[in-house]
Structure 1
Amino acid sequence: MREFSVPERLGVLGLGVALAAAVWPSVTDATGLGVPCPLRALTGVPCPGCGLTTAAVALVRGDLGSAAAANPVIVGLAVVTVVAIPLLALRTVGALPPPVAWSAPARRRTEWGSGLLALASWLFQLHRLGVG
């Protein structure tokens, strides 16, 4: 079994998020239940992922503005998904070669970039929700 690239993994994650976001409103309408952010419920401080459910549902409904306002990270995940899913399909049928392993410096840059993205998302949520 081959290794999947980071974009391929993110694409599959994005596809799963899109499917869940399409179903989630009917679940909440039927049950009245929601999923609160555990960190925000316990401390009053939002996490970097706060608003992602709202953003994903808005994006699936075609409301890009509301999605970006709730958590702009969802827009990036959607873009990666739109690119990665066809890439994954083409690699699966053999039309494209498998991905090349990343070098240690490339992995380190990606780790730093991911950390900075999480920090930026957290700062955005703190500002959006008026904390601090």
Structure 2
Amino acid sequence: MNVTARYVSVPERLGLLGLAAGAAALAWPTFTSATGLGAPCPTYAVTGVPCPFCGLTTASVALVHGDVAGAAAANPGVLALAALAVAVVPLLALRAAGVLAAPDRLGARARRRVEWSVALLAAASWVFQLNRLVLS
């Protein structure tokens, strides 16, 4: 039997990552209070320099508990990730039901634009984290 895997677009993948982060953020406070364990950023712990994703755990937990301002203060990128997570559920349901077709794969030029966009967003996040944790 020849089974072809369905292509999942980058926004869908990020939305699924956002859903997983939201689910983990719901369980994280219970886990940390029961075990006393946390999740420090390894880059920040070793070098004193935050990574572009520093604060995502804190931001995710704040967001699932309704603290939008706290989430944005820890890492504003979580708001975009949450928006994708909300949008991806009906999108994937419609694709699974056959109402919407699977997305087309990106060409090389479009893929490069996406890669540059992601790199610029990561750089902006890193500047934000450097300002928040090192320069302030």
The TM-score normalised by the length of structure 1 is: 0.96
- The whole-number CA distance in structure 1 between the counterparts of 2:51 and 2:15 is 23
Matching residue within 107, 111, 121 for 1:107: 111
Q: Which amino acid aligns with 1:130?
A: V
Unaligned stretches of 5+ residues in structure 1: none
1:15 aligned to 2:25? no
CA contact (8 A) 1:45 1:131 kept: no
Q: Please tell me whether residue 66 in structure 1 is matched to residue 67 in structure 2.
A: no
Aligned equivalents of 2:73 and 2:135: distance in 1?
16
Structure 1 position 85 matched with structure 2 position 89: yes
What's 2:126 paired with?
122
> Could you tell which deviates more after superposition, 78-87 or 60-69?
78-87
The one-letter code sitting in structure 1 at the alignment partner of 2:120 is L
Are residue 6 (structure 1) and residue 15 (structure 2) matched? no
1:71 & 1:129 partners in 2: Cα distance? 11
1:39 aligned residue: 43
Report runs of 4+ in structure 1 exceeding 3 Å deviation: none
Output one character per residue of 1:16-75: Cα deviation in whole Å (capped at 9) or x when no partner.
Answer: 000000000000011111011101111111111110000000000011100000000100
For 2:103, the aligned partner's letter is: P
The equivalent of 2:28 in structure 1 is: 24
